[in-house]
Structure 1
Amino acid sequence: MSEVLGKKVNLLSILLLLFATWLVLFWDSVMATAAIWERSETFAHCFLILPICIYLLHRDWSALKHLPIKPNLWLLLPLLAILIFWLFGDLAHIAAIEQLATFLLLPLMCWLVLGNQIALRMWFVLFFWMFSVPEGEFLIPALQEVTADFTVMAIQLTGIPVYREGLYIAVPGGLFEVAVACSGIRYLIASLTLGCLFAYLTYYKWHKRVLFVLFSLVLPIVANGIRAYGIVMIAYLSDMKHATGADHLVYGWLFFGVVIFIMFSIGSIWRDPEPRSEEVEKESNPAVPLKTVVTGWLSAVVLILVAEGYNITAQNINYPAAPDIQSQWDLEDVSNSSWQPVFQNPGQEYAGRYQQSDFYAVWYAHSTEDSKLISSVNQLYNRSSWTRINSQAQSGYQLLEISSLDGRRRMLAYSYVTPWLQSPSNIKVRLTQALQALAGQPQQGMALVISRLVENDEDRKAFRAQAKAFFDENYQQVLNGSL
């Protein structure tokens, strides 16, 4: 054994070992992430991140391979913190947290085993690797609002009559919706990724790098607003013959290509000259004893295996019985499905009438990958027929006003209920359910929604009073009584 541990290993062997270890130990999380890259055009560029990282390492290899390898075992502390973060995401089936933690673990393992000097030299590779994580879709609602605001303002400056209702924009002869695909999230993420890479390769002064990255963030937002305005104008001037179907997506990608070209052209004006390469002493020896590497690598592997063992144990739980919601609220068996929420694979689903309002509730016994209370695919109202006009936070619940394509208005109030929390906040509920999972408890929960058509301010006032009385009740007892 001592002879084996005394053997020498080089930097390339260690990097391959670390990558293989990470891939094997987090195979399920990595494959789930790759599936998102494959099915989502927004994150298709993530397939290029690993090849780019390999290129960047090759570009700096002559300097990297002569730096000393000195494991930094203090990195076991942040590694443990990220493993707990990963447990949060995996047990609560919060893909964003799980994937962020999974891909952050590889740079931490590299830093731990290779040491400070090499990690500092390859800092951008470790940072750029994180663009593999398919994050950013939480920005879509805000980007839709910004695009709608910009488009309406530009149309008004043009002198064309325009009317906006939520995310719907009406001009003479046509009605447009600022849909998810029109939010510009694809352009923003792609622009930021390319902007960071361009800034690193082109500039060596930090203030230039920061300014160009900020430029790569602002430009696609402004450009997407101009693109949306252009699509409306093309459709309006052509009597709705052009830019109203799939062709406007083609215009969008061509426009984005031009924007990226402009961004790089402007950035190249202030390009920094290449720094002089430093001569490396020929007698430097990059090989280190295997024992030095095994200490750091094995410490990381042990921590990861402990976390994964706890993960398996925490998932062996008993599911609770479903609460009797029908008896709790004495519902009438009449429902209006035109606005009705859409929740994926609930344990129980209820719809009816409650005190002159439409009532809807779903219950989940536990969170799984395709069946969970908080999910991006769940809808609190039918988004294909209705759009949000405004939203007001209340104590313990949220008020929404939504509008249909034919001009009807509807008010809606909702909240989520778990044994530990009653709140309309997605983030609070997700974090609470993650804590439940870590404690080995089922992540059961309900979504409660009431809604009513409104025609005037008196209707709105009456619904607000009903919503306040409804959600002032402590509905946690409904769940806690069934545990």
Structure 2
Amino acid sequence: MNREGILGRGVVRQLLPYLVMLFGVVLLVLPTLEGVVSRWLKLDESYSHGFLLLAVSVFLTVQAVKRHPIVAGFYPFWLVPLCLCLLGYWLGGLIRLQALQQLTLVPMLLSALAVLMGWRQVRWLIIPVGLLFFTIPVWDFLSWNLQLITVAVNKFLLGLLDIDFEVEGVFVYLIGVGTFEVAHGCSGLRYLLVGQALVLIYGELYLSRVRSRVLLFCCGVAFALVANWIRVFVIIYMGYETNMQSSLIEDHDNFGWWVFAATLVPLYFIARRLELQDEKCESNTSTETTFVQERKAVGVSLGVVLLCVGVTYAALPDKRSSVLDQPKSYGIDIQERYAPVFGAQLAGWRPQIQNPDWAYAQTLFDRQQISTDGSLDEQFYLGVFTYEFQRHRAELVQYTNRLYDTNLWVPEQFYKVPSKLNIPIQGITLKSLATGEKIHIAYSYMVEGRWETDQWRAKLAQVLGFFSERSDASLLIAAVRCGDCTPQESLLNFVETTFPQSVSSINQEVAGLSD
């Protein structure tokens, strides 16, 4: 056999333990990975860089292995963090909290590698593998805080100019001109993730000192945030100057990336300066340690890792749960007062809810409020959407589930609905961007028996639901469109009439599932 063949067989023999370990871990987390990759495929979202960063991670891993040859062994201490990661993944599956499972993916992979490599070898892979954490869709939890920070910064900047404006929540009202919503896409999350990834890659390739890498990382975060603040300010200011006619309002995504690219110029000079400083401080002494591979140790290490993964896989509930093509229909008894109108939308509005197990969505009118000429001054909408239990592509709080289409509707007012039902209910007034027509909606989440009006609190209610016998999650939403009526009063009466019947229907179905 020639030398190339011998070398090829040697490389395969060295890689085989890692490939087997990786196969076992991927098999365990495959349903979660499907959810992550599905977000990468959405090119207009914050995680569209996923495939590119995966390729960069592989490249940097190969480069690290070339610089620091790795030899497999058995390092039992690292079974502790591995088991903790597996426990977290199992717990996330048990309480139907996909975000918890996603959080464990990268630490689980690094812990499994550390069992085979030990700290002195796996440390070279922390950045190459850790880059994948910026592709995991758990960063959405930062979005709301980033939106509020962006609004606060722009409130300060607009206050320096002679502009008449008001700020409420994430909305900036330019008096007499128009309204801007600092929505999820304006939070700057995508620039933050890309900026963090870029400075970590640069640090891995060109910087040798930890202090330089940390300083560059902090600068990258700061510049990414500043880029978004500048983008939002310029868009709002141009909207004010052009009476909302500026092309930047429609093409703000491309403009944002140009601003972000401009902030990379000073960031590059900072990175280059740090690189030159590191070159001066480099030492010519080598501290590489030689490792001797023992087949017995490798076999024990691989066997223990696969055993832990196998036990977790066997303990996971509902590893693959089906999603219904069509939800089952609720039979909510409100026909004595309300009669249906053809259709399941109100003035072109309806909530965007994906893959519920049970649903009721109907436009209605009040039999008692028909005018003498037969016209309908008021129209109502009632929506009840329930998930028997939450899993991939069938979760109450997920990116694709929205109360309204932001391309068609803009919120004008937020308020609490003070009902007698003793449950929290959030109200919103929406205005159509096409017609200017307004509708008024009220909604509340019921997650495993707990009521919430905030999405993230509803998400966290799944954790508290671990101690509950229930596993269901529902959205109850009511809306009204009216002419001469008092909208919030009509909405309150509609909610107090229909929500108790809706909750009763939900409880009946949940009781039927537990029998």
Q: State the TM-score, normalized to the length of structure 2.
A: 0.73
1:102 corresponds, among 105, 127, 133, to 105
Alignment of 1:281-320 (within 5 A): 286-311=291-316
Paired letter, 2:89: W
Give per-residue Cα distances to partners, 1:114-149, cap 9 Å, x unaligned: 123212344333433423423322333333343344
Alignment of 1:80-159 (within 5 A): 80-90=83-93, 94-159=97-162
Deviation at 1:78, TM superposition (A): 3.1
Contact 2:98 2:391 in 1 (8 A): no
Contact 1:140 1:180 in 2 (8 A): yes
Q: Provide the C-alpha distance between the structure 1 equivalents of 2:307 and 2:335, rounded to a whole number of angstroms.
A: 51
Task: Name the SS for the 1:305 alignment partner.
Answer: helix
Q: Provide the C-alpha distance between the structure 2 equivalents of 1:298 and 1:330, rounded to a whole number of angstroms.
A: 66
Deviation at 1:94, TM superposition (A): 4.9
Deviation larger for 462-471 or 209-218: 462-471
1:327 corresponds, among 323, 333, 357, to 333
Q: Which runs of 5+ in 1 are unaligned?
A: 1-6
Deviation at 1:109, TM superposition (A): 0.8
Compare relative contact order (CA 8 Å, sep 6+) and give the higher one, 1 or 2.
1
Contact 1:343 1:377 in 2 (8 A): yes
Paired letter, 1:374: V
Counterpart in 2 of 1:404?
A: 431
Counterpart in 2 of 1:348?
A: 359
Counterpart in 1 of 2:164?
A: 161
Give per-residue Cα distances to partners, 1:99-121, cap 9 Å, x unaligned: 33333321111011212321234
Q: Provide the C-alpha distance between the structure 2 equivalents of 1:50 and 1:123, rounded to a whole number of angstroms.
A: 14
Contact 1:171 1:236 in 2 (8 A): no
Counterpart in 1 of 2:192?
A: 188
Q: Provide the C-alpha distance between the structure 2 equivalents of 1:382 and 1:147, rounded to a whole number of angstroms.
A: 22
Contact 2:172 2:180 in 1 (8 A): yes
Counterpart in 1 of 2:384?
A: 361
Q: Provide the C-alpha distance between the structure 1 equivalents of 2:320 and 2:21, rounded to a whole number of angstroms.
A: 28
Q: Provide the C-alpha distance between the structure 2 equivalents of 1:443 and 1:207, rounded to a whole number of angstroms.
A: 47
Q: Provide the C-alpha distance between the structure 1 equivalents of 2:218 and 2:297, rounded to a whole number of angstroms.
A: 41
1:53 corresponds, among 49, 53, 57, to 57
Give per-residue Cα distances to partners, 1:443-477, cap 9 Å, x unaligned: 4332223456799xx98699779979998998675
Q: Provide the C-alpha distance between the structure 2 equivalents of 1:417 and 1:438, rounded to a whole number of angstroms.
A: 13
Deviation at 1:187, TM superposition (A): 0.9
Counterpart in 2 of 1:3?
A: none
Task: Name the SS for the 1:81 alignment partner.
Answer: helix
Q: Provide the C-alpha distance between the structure 2 equivalents of 1:438 and 1:77, rounded to a whole number of angstroms.
A: 26
Q: Provide the C-alpha distance between the structure 1 equivalents of 2:438 and 2:132, rounded to a whole number of angstroms.
A: 48
Q: Provide the C-alpha distance between the structure 1 equivalents of 2:219 and 2:115, rounded to a whole number of angstroms.
A: 34
Contact 1:162 1:170 in 2 (8 A): yes
Counterpart in 1 of 2:393?
A: 370
Paired letter, 1:76: L
Deviation at 1:197, TM superposition (A): 3.2
Task: Name the SS for the 2:137 alignment partner.
Answer: coil
1:276 aligns with 2:304: no
Query: Aligned-residue CA RMSD in angstroms?
Result: 4.5
Paired letter, 2:360: E
Q: Provide the C-alpha distance between the structure 2 equivalents of 1:246 and 1:459, rounded to a whole number of angstroms.
A: 32
Deviation at 1:228, TM superposition (A): 1.8
Counterpart in 2 of 1:337?
A: 346
- Are the structure 2 counterparts of residues 262 and 465 from structure 1 closer, same or farther at C-alpha, using a change threshold of 3 Å? farther
Give per-residue Cα distances to partners, 1:401-454, cap 9 Å, x unaligned: 434254857362413143x54444545654665798999x88433222345679
Counterpart in 2 of 1:446?
A: 474
Deviation at 1:256, TM superposition (A): 0.9
Deviation larger for 251-260 or 112-121: 112-121
Paired letter, 2:139: G
Q: Provide the C-alpha distance between the structure 1 equivalents of 2:321 and 2:430, rounded to a whole number of angstroms.
A: 44
Q: Provide the C-alpha distance between the structure 1 equivalents of 2:290 and 2:150, rounded to a whole number of angstroms.
A: 56
Contact 2:359 2:383 in 1 (8 A): no
Q: Provide the C-alpha distance between the structure 2 equivalents of 1:182 and 1:119, rounded to a whole number of angstroms.
A: 37
1:65 corresponds, among 61, 64, 69, to 69
Q: Provide the C-alpha distance between the structure 2 equivalents of 1:316 and 1:178, rounded to a whole number of angstroms.
A: 36
Q: Provide the C-alpha distance between the structure 1 equivalents of 2:297 and 2:13, rounded to a whole number of angstroms.
A: 12
Q: Provide the C-alpha distance between the structure 2 equivalents of 1:312 and 1:409, rounded to a whole number of angstroms.
A: 42
Q: Provide the C-alpha distance between the structure 1 equivalents of 2:309 and 2:135, rounded to a whole number of angstroms.
A: 21
Paired letter, 1:399: Q
Deviation larger for 471-480 or 29-38: 471-480
Paired letter, 2:429: I
Q: Provide the C-alpha distance between the structure 2 equivalents of 1:241 and 1:461, rounded to a whole number of angstroms.
A: 36
Contact 2:134 2:193 in 1 (8 A): no
Deviation larger for 10-19 or 122-131: 10-19
Paired letter, 1:261: V
Task: Name the SS for the 1:111 alignment partner.
Answer: helix
- Are the structure 2 counterparts of residues 350 and 30 from structure 1 closer, same or farther at C-alpha, using a change threshold of 3 Å? closer
Deviation larger for 249-258 or 265-274: 265-274
Paired letter, 2:332: Q
Task: Name the SS for the 2:429 alignment partner.
Answer: strand
Q: Provide the C-alpha distance between the structure 2 equivalents of 1:398 and 1:24, rounded to a whole number of angstroms.
A: 42
- Are the structure 2 counterparts of residues 403 and 246 from structure 1 closer, same or farther at C-alpha, using a change threshold of 3 Å? closer
Deviation at 1:257, TM superposition (A): 0.5
Q: Provide the C-alpha distance between the structure 2 equivalents of 1:242 and 1:462, rounded to a whole number of angstroms.
A: 38
Contact 1:88 1:437 in 2 (8 A): no
Q: Provide the C-alpha distance between the structure 1 equivalents of 2:115 and 2:417, rounded to a whole number of angstroms.
A: 45
Give per-residue Cα distances to partners, 1:286-312, cap 9 Å, x unaligned: 441222112111211122223223336
Counterpart in 2 of 1:4?
A: none
